[in-house]
Structure 1
Amino acid sequence: MIGVRGEAEVVVDGCGSRLDTWSACLVPTEAFHDYSGNARNHVLVIDLDPCLPAFTNPGHEDYDRMAPLFERPRALRFDSRLQSLVHLSAGEFALAPENTAMHRHLAAGILHCMSERLVRTPSRATQSHFSPDTIRRYVLENLHRKITVGDLAGVACLSVSRFHDIFRTMTGTTPHQYLLQIRLEQSVKLIIDTSLTIAEISHRAGFSSQAALTNALRKHRGTTPSALRSGN
């Protein structure tokens, strides 16, 4: 399942994942999964049936390279090139809904690109299949809203407790502390580099109020928004 427009929630074998325009969720054939979206969502679903003769035909040996994609449930974040390919393909599907040959070729191209990225991405830890960079990108893309540890665990396709343990091992901090650090970093940058009101900055950085931002800056950075803006 690949996000094309909007956001949706996918749960695969009890592991939650968020679909947006920069992500996909890979679901093994035997895995139980639930999907939750609305009329504004657009999700591209590529179904593969391993029992189809085409997958054992010598002319389709290249499909063997994609088998590791579906060894277990996993979430994949896109780079800009892969996202462009997905959106181009979704547009072509809409323009030619009856052209099944074109659909198969474009879908296979998307899967091959996803497979190549998974092969090229080194594992930072044998017990995990995510990187701190992936988590940071997700946080920055969703900074304006409430982000839970469950959301981050969903990006990594791990249980909350497992994600918490692995994340702390990999980064030396807890997910809650990491979220706060990024919110503060972005708040400081906006206070210094823009003329936005402190209320607007607190909203963009995901703080519940201007007072919450001020208190967090005072407690963790020893400063206040007015002091930062005045250069003191």
Structure 2
Amino acid sequence: MPKNAAHHAHEHHQVVIGLQGSSGLAGQGWEVGLDNRRACFVPTETRHDYFGNDINHVLVIDLDVSAPALSNPRHHDYDHLAPLFDRPQHLEMDNRLQNLIHLCAAELHQAPDNRSLHEHFATGIVHCLSHRLSGNRILRRRPQTFNTEVLRHYVREHLHRKITVKDLAREACLSVSRFHETFREMTGMSPHQYIIHARLDRAIELLRQPRLSLAEISLRTGFSSQGALTNAMKKHRGVTPSALR
């Protein structure tokens, strides 16, 4: 493990559990010291420093943010697991959980290439942590919103290039999975649908400028070709760009 602080971020959620020695995590406005009593939950793309001493040892579990249990509200584990990564947070572990973690860590050390064992142990550990953190209740997601005008302006200014859900989530200051859910709740459509309609709205505006060719309009509104613009316009607006012009 690194002895000095290392600044980084990940494209996955991460659970970091102290096993031995002294180490820690720190980000903007938060810091957690890790020993054999603490586990820390780090959401995807959370910039943070990791630091440790000469003998520190931690167990790290990487979680795919697109896994149904973390991204699909209909999944039976979603209400238990997804809230773990709403924000950086930590858990003080009881003796039973500490013993379980150390037992799993020892078994994993003996079988470093057994992927199936790693995945099963990781799943069990995360569920145990979730149960401890929630106590006797289900973790409920905090209602979240974002400034739709800021997002609309961002989309408008970047229509000429590819816009990803990750880009929009960053503007909304939410994780990708949380943004996708919140966006649907607020707008009634997916981010992809919203971007398509924004591109088409802008294309219709540009069609009023006779000097612009359909190819140029396609380029300015982020469609890969004139044909892509025509297909999207016909599918979503029921008319071709040429007929509309």
Question: TM-score, normalising length from structure 1?
Answer: 0.47
Relative to its length, the structure with more helix (as a share) is 1
Relative to its length, the structure with more strand (as a share) is 2
Please say which structure displays the higher CA radius of gyration. 2
Q: Which has the higher contact order (CA 8 A, sep 6+)?
A: 1
